[in-house]
Amino acid sequence: MRIFCASIATETNTFSPLRTDFSDFQESFYAPPGQHPVTPTLCSAVFTEGRLRAAKEGWDLIEGTATWAEPGGLVSRETYEQLRDEVLGQLRAAMPVDGVILGLHGAMVAQDYLDCEGDLISRIRALVGPEVVIGTSFDPHSHLTALRVDNADIIVAFKEFPHTDFVETGRAVVDLVLRTLRGEITPTKAVFDCHMIEVLPTSREPMRSFIDRAKDMEGTGDILSVSFIHGFMAGDVPDLGAKVIVTTNNNPAEAKQIARDLGVELFGFRGATRPTFLKPEAALDQALASDAKPIVLTDVWDNPGGGVPGDSTILLRAVMERGLSDYAFGTLWDPMAVKICFSAGEGATLPLRFGGKTGAHAGAPIDAEVTVKKLERNAWQYFGESIVPLGDCAVIVLPGGGEVILNTNRSQSFDPSLFSNMGIDPKSKKYLFIKSTNHFYDAFAKIAGEIIYIDVHGPYPSDPKTNGYRHVKRPLWPIVDDPFAQKAS
C-alpha cells in the first residue's frame, strides 16, 4: 500500500494590512520531502501519525512538502501556485498511490483564489482519479466548501478550541483512510449549514458538554466522525460561517439527520458561547481589585493568530498610564525595534520607539527610555507538542519596571514558555498581558489565578454586522436575526 502525504497551511485574514508570500512560510515552518521533524505542527500531525502507522503495519508513506505560515493577510498568487504545484509534482512522481492524506488549515485565501484548499483537493482528485482515497484534516476556523466535500473522502476537523487535539485529529484521518482502503468502511458525508458566525471556545459551557457528547457519538453504530467548522470571521469568502460535517459508514440518511440535529443545536448557542470581553479600563479595574496572582489578561483581537500584525500599543499604553509595574507583556511584534536592541546589547539603556507601526487602528508607537534586559536569537514557545518560532526577541524594561517582549516572528501567545524562555518567571509576576483569543487557555489556566479577556478595538474585523463582507451572499447570524427564515423566503 502506498500513501502520499503533504501539508500546506495558513489562515488568511482578508481584511489584514499584511500580505503573505513564500518568505512567510519559510519563516514559520517549511519542510521539504522527508524533512518533517519528529514533532508535529498544528496542521501536519498527519505526517507523524502516518509514520507511526506505516512503521507498525509495513506500508509505504511517501512524504511531500509540509509548510505553515503564521496567519496573515492575502497570500500572493505566485506563492500559492508555487506551493500547490510543488505538491502536485511530488504526488505525480509518487504515483501510483492508493491514498492521499493532507494536513490543511482550511482558511487560506490567495489572490484570485477564494478557496485554496478546494482548488488543491480538486486538482489532486483529477490527478489520482476516483478510486484513490483522499483524507484531510482541517482547523475548525476554516471554510467548508462544496468543492472540498465533493473531492475528499475523509474530512476531520479539530474539535477543541484551544486546538489541543490536533494530534488526535491527524490520527483519525490516517485511521479512517486506512480503514477505507482495506474495505472495512464506506464513508458517506453530510453537511449542515448553521448560517451563523460566532466565537465558540470549547473550554467553557455550553460548548464543553456539546463537544464531549459529539466525541462520545463517534464509533457508535455507523458514526465514524463528527466535526464542527466554526468559521473564520476575518475571511471574506462565500462559505464563511459555522457548519457541521458528519461521516458515517455507508449510512447517508443517518449522517444527514445527525448533522442537522447537531447544527440546529449549535445555532441555538448563538450569543451565549464567548467569555465576557471587557474594555481595557474595566479590565484593569478588575485586575487592580483582585488578590489573584498571576492575573492573565489577554488582548483577544490584536491576536497574530487571527492574521493581524500584533503590534497594537493600545493596551500597553493604558497599563503604563495606570502606573502598573509588576507585569510582563508578551509580545509586541516589532522587528526594527528588536534590531536596535541587538545593536545596543544586553544591559544597554536607550530611547526606543516601538509598536504601532502597521496600521491606523493599532495605536501610536510608544517612545520610552528602556533597558535591554535579555536578547535571544531564534526564540520559541510551546503549543502542545509543537514548537512555535518567535524569531529574534528582546526583553525591554520600561520606566516603572514593566517588562515587554519584542519579537520578529509574529505569533500569538500560546504558553507560559513564551515568558520563561526569555528569562521571565511568569508565576512571579502579578500581571501577564498576552495576545490570543483562546489558544492560550489550556496552558495558561494551569498557572493563572485569574483570567480576563479584553476587547481592544483594533485592526481585527471583530463584528460581522459591520465588517462589510463582499463575497458572503448567504444570510448569517448576527448580520440577520433569523437567517433560516430569510433563507426560506
CA distance 353 to 333: 12
Let me know whether 89 and 208 are in one domain: yes
Work out whether strand 2-9 and strand 431-434 pair parallel, antiparallel, or are unpaired.
unpaired
Let me know whether 294 and 262 are in one domain: no
Q: Name, in order, each residue with C-beta under 8 angstroms of 34's C-beta and a sequence gap of 6 or more.
A: 63
Count of positions (residues) in the chain: 489
CATH code where residue 190 lies: 3.40.50.2300
391: in domain: yes
**Residue 417 in 3-state DSSP?**
helix
412: in domain: yes
**All 3 cell numbers of residue 276?**
465576557
Number of structural domains found in the chain:
2
Let me know whether 199 and 295 are in one domain: no
CA distance 12 to 19: 9
Q: What would the pLDDT profile of 132-155 be if each residue is shown by its tens digit?
A: 999 999 999 999 999 999 999 999
Q: What is the mean pLDDT of residues 169-190?
A: 98
What band does 47 get if pLDDT is binned at 50, 70 and 90?
A: very high
Pick from 238, 267, 296: which residue ends a domain? 267
- Strand extents, DSSP E, 283-385: 295-299, 327-333, 349-354, 366-383
Q: What is the mean pLDDT of residues 393-417?
A: 97
List Cα–Cα distances, 132 to 83, 186, 295, in angstroms.
22, 13, 52
The pLDDT > 90 percentage for the chain reads 97
Q: Name, in order, each residue with C-beta under 8 angstroms of 131's C-beta and a sequence gap of 6 or more.
A: none
For residue 8, give its domain range: 2-267
Q: What would the pLDDT profile of 272-284 be if each residue is shown by its tens digit?
A: 999 999 999 999 9
Q: What would the pLDDT profile of 351-370 be if each residue is shown by its tens digit?
A: 999 999 998 888 999 999 99
Q: What is the mean pLDDT of residues 328-357?
A: 97
**Residue 335 in 3-state DSSP?**
helix
Query: Environment class of residue 428 by beta-carbon count within 10 Å: exposed (0-12), middle (13-18) or buried (19+)?
Result: exposed
- Among 118, 161, 136, residue whose Cα is nearest residue 306: 161
Pick from 249, 267, 285: which residue ends a domain? 267
Question: What is the crossing angle of helices 280-288 and 314-322, to 10°?
Answer: 40
463: in domain: no
488: in domain: no
For residue 78, give the H/E element and its range. Answer: helix 77-94
Question: What secondary structure does DSSP assign to 386-403, as a single string?
Answer: EEEEEEEEEEEE-TTS-E
Let me know whether 8 and 36 are in one domain: yes
Let me know whether 161 and 233 are in one domain: yes
485: in domain: no
Let me know whether 196 and 333 are in one domain: no
Strands lying side by side in the sheet with 133-138: 29-31, 60-68, 2-9, 99-103, 133-138, 154-157
Pick from 230, 248, 267: which residue ends a domain? 267
The predicted structure's pLDDT at residue 359: 82
**Residue 465 in 3-state DSSP?**
coil
CA atoms within 13 A on the CB side of 330: 31
Please give the distance of CA 128 from its chain centroid, rounded to a whole number.
30
User: Omega before 294 cis (within 30°)?
Assistant: yes
Please give the distance of CA 232 from its chain centroid, rounded to a whole number.
10
**How many Cβ atoms from other residues are within 10 Å of residue 487's Cβ?**
12
The predicted structure's pLDDT at residue 489: 61
Contact indicator for 84, 38 with CB cutoff of 8 Å: no
Let me know whether 168 and 71 are in one domain: yes
Q: What would the pLDDT profile of 442-486 be if each residue is shown by its tens digit?
A: 999 999 999 999 999 888 999 999 999 999 999 999 999 999 987
The pLDDT > 70 percentage for the chain reads 100
Q: What would the pLDDT profile of 196-254 be if each residue is shown by its tens digit?
A: 999 999 999 999 999 999 999 999 999 999 999 999 999 999 999 999 999 999 999 99
